[in-house]
Structure 1
Amino acid sequence: MALHNDLPPLLALRAFEAVARHLSFINAANELSVTQSALSHQVHKLEHHLGKPLFIRRTRAIDLTLAGQAYYEQIRPALDAIAAATRNQRGAPSANVLRIGLLASFATLWLAPRLAEFLQRYPHIQVELLPAIQLANVATAEVDLAIRYGKGDWPDVHATRLMAETLSPVCSPAFKARQVASGPLLMATSHRPFEWTDWSAHYQVNLDRHPRVMLHDYNIVVEASVAGQGIAMGRHRLIERRLQDGSLVEAFDWPPYHSDIGYWLIAPQGPLSEAAECFSQWLKQACADA
């Protein structure tokens, strides 16, 4: 019998492994940068493929079933072996090549304009920025370092807070004059909407009358807001130029919200390469000066 006849859907397998490791759909979805509903769909797909439940779902917690626990213990070594084989085939990167995983919005709006200073200081280090919605995994050596946006609750890595973000809803001046009271909220699908959740809870604002529009990336959210398509949650670190030139303005009258959401440098547990250490120290100083 062909091997592929017994293989489960591989996306579903990855989803199951993350949920089983965290015992949390929320944390697993955050790690994989997908929605909880998409993750749940993949797990259900695997359960249907196997013909049995893998999790006991409770109101506020989940546990593995006996079958789920046994399956997890059997597949985890196989997945680790696949990761190790892939690393071996890919070969060790040059000591002077530094691979950094990050969101395209941070790369475009904050890091890229500052990167020349690092390259001038360390001309022997070749920096490869690897932007993706699903952030690359430093724990399995997909990248040397990563820069993430959130609250710092990622497992199995060393997370260093770089800088906090200041948030406020923004829109174009024309949109504010026309329909800000009921206009759509523009959101990036790459993240949980904790920005809007935290902001509305802080100011006790009910946003139910505003429809949601989900867009692929925060860069698109910003451009859509500038074009008058709706209200974006403004990350002031990234949209400073837009606020200064007036293409974006505060949508509401509340002051900016100084949140506990921010940007984090993610490194693997253990010693860094010389190139990664140089970039880490430079980035921390650049963020402190920003």
Structure 2
Amino acid sequence: MNTPRRFLPSTSLLAAFEAAARTGSVTMAARELSLTQSAVSRQIKLLEEQLEVELFARERQSIRLTPAGAAYAREIREALRKISTASFNLHANPRGGTLNLAILPTFGTRWLAPRLPKFLVQNPGITINLATRLTYFDFRTEALDAAIHFGPPDWPGVEMVLLRSEEVVPACSPELKKQYGFRSARDLKEVPLLSISTRPDAWNKWFSMQQVDDGSGQAMYFDQFATVAQAAMVGVGVALLPTFLIQEELTSGKLVLAIDRSMESAERYYLVWPAERSTHPPLRAFRDWLLAESGADR
């Protein structure tokens, strides 16, 4: 990395600037950093001289970010957060055994989380940090090592391994089924059809499999399976849900099959990661364990 030294200010200068930018006050920044006001003012001035850019407009006893300073503050705040997170992770696990994993919310809470203790027992030196992501993202701009992905195997610029398929069923509350007495797929068009916004054509595919034309019905869209399942349980409508994610509700009777017609989704669940992280020890350990766990389900 051959960045000129003037473009790599010390963290002490950046911390003083960020605190003053966020609080809008040299006094408050000094109090936060346990420094004197003159020390904070001096550090900000040194940063401006190093960058050759005015970051604050000084007006009597107050300061105000310049447009350039406001833009710089946003980026510096994120950079300092990443440095702080990396330092915390290293302190918590000096061997560097941290895996930053993006998960799908319901898959993470219903399938992955109950199994994680087993992985952590088997791999005591590894820490896993979880972050929710619903769609594709750019690994180059996210501090993430891998992600659980549902969809076609078309994520550009990554390596991936297949985890599992899924079977979806039309599910609803027992009360709704009793009220409408569903007998055929066509009967479901009489009630609201609950859908995930990332799968807008799922119901049409299901109706097509049942040889029912125009399966659009009265669609209601949600952004997560957890809210769709909850809406179905309280009788809002019928939801097309993966059986492996609602097994508890089906077993307890909170959800029932509106009619017994399942469909295997064309998409699959994958573990994906950028090629440069493929040899990261925590990722390798997690990948092997996850394949064994998902293989047991299959």
Q: How does 1:90-239 map to 2 (within 5 A)?
A: 90-91=82-83, 94=90, 95-134=96-135, 136-179=137-180, 181=187, 182-189=190-197, 191-206=198-213, 208=215, 210-239=217-246
Determine if contact 2:159/2:272 at 8 Å carries over to the other structure: yes
Equivalent-residue separation in structure 2 for 1:209 and 1:196 (angstroms): 7
**Percent of pairs identical after alignment?**
30
Change (3 A) 1:200 1:283: same
Determine if contact 1:199/1:257 at 8 Å carries over to the other structure: yes
Where 1:233 maps in the other structure, the secondary structure is strand
Equivalent-residue separation in structure 2 for 1:156 and 1:194 (angstroms): 26
Return the letter of the residue paired with 2:211.
Answer: Q
- Cα displacement string for residues 134-159 of structure 1 (whole angstroms, at most 9, x for unaligned residues): 45543544311100112222221112
- Cα displacement string for residues 59-99 of structure 1 (whole angstroms, at most 9, x for unaligned residues): xxxxxxxxxxxxxxxxxxxxxxxx9x977972456422211
Change (3 A) 1:209 1:89: closer
Total equivalences in the alignment: 206
- Cα displacement string for residues 198-237 of structure 1 (whole angstroms, at most 9, x for unaligned residues): 3223222235462111123111001111111111111012
Equivalent-residue separation in structure 1 for 2:270 and 2:173 (angstroms): 29
- Cα displacement string for residues 226-284 of structure 1 (whole angstroms, at most 9, x for unaligned residues): 11111111101211111122211111242x22233221111112333100111111111
How far residue 286 of structure 1 moved from its aligned partner, in angstroms, is 0.6
How far residue 128 of structure 1 moved from its aligned partner, in angstroms, is 0.9
Where 1:205 maps in the other structure, the secondary structure is coil
Equivalent-residue separation in structure 1 for 2:216 and 2:145 (angstroms): 44
Equivalent-residue separation in structure 2 for 1:208 and 1:166 (angstroms): 19
Structure 2 unmatched runs, 5+: 1-74, 91-95
Q: Which residue of 1 aligns with 2:272?
A: 266
Determine if contact 2:208/2:215 at 8 Å carries over to the other structure: no
State the TM-score, normalizing by the size of structure 2: 0.62
Equivalent-residue separation in structure 1 for 2:204 and 2:103 (angstroms): 23
Change (3 A) 1:287 1:112: same
Change (3 A) 1:158 1:140: farther
Determine if contact 2:99/2:127 at 8 Å carries over to the other structure: yes
Where 1:98 maps in the other structure, the secondary structure is strand
Q: Which residue of 2 aligns with 1:14?
A: none
Equivalent-residue separation in structure 1 for 2:216 and 2:246 (angstroms): 26
Determine if contact 2:166/2:244 at 8 Å carries over to the other structure: yes
Equivalent-residue separation in structure 2 for 1:196 and 1:114 (angstroms): 31
Equivalent-residue separation in structure 1 for 2:136 and 2:221 (angstroms): 19
Where 2:153 maps in the other structure, the secondary structure is coil
Equivalent-residue separation in structure 1 for 2:230 and 2:157 (angstroms): 35
Structure 1 unmatched runs, 5+: 1-82
Report the aligned-residue RMSD. Answer: 2.5
Equivalent-residue separation in structure 1 for 2:260 and 2:285 (angstroms): 42
Where 2:109 maps in the other structure, the secondary structure is helix
Change (3 A) 1:125 1:252: same
Change (3 A) 1:232 1:146: same
Change (3 A) 1:233 1:207: farther
Higher Cα radius of gyration? 2
Q: How does 1:243-282 map to 2 (within 5 A)?
A: 243-254=250-261, 256-270=262-276, 271-282=278-289
Dislocated runs of 4+, deviation >6 Å: 85-89
Change (3 A) 1:139 1:244: farther
Change (3 A) 1:134 1:257: closer
Change (3 A) 1:148 1:209: closer
Determine if contact 1:138/1:266 at 8 Å carries over to the other structure: no
Return the letter of the residue paired with 2:296.
Answer: D
Does structure 1 residue 285 correspond to structure 2 residue 292?
A: yes
Equivalent-residue separation in structure 2 for 1:272 and 1:163 (angstroms): 23
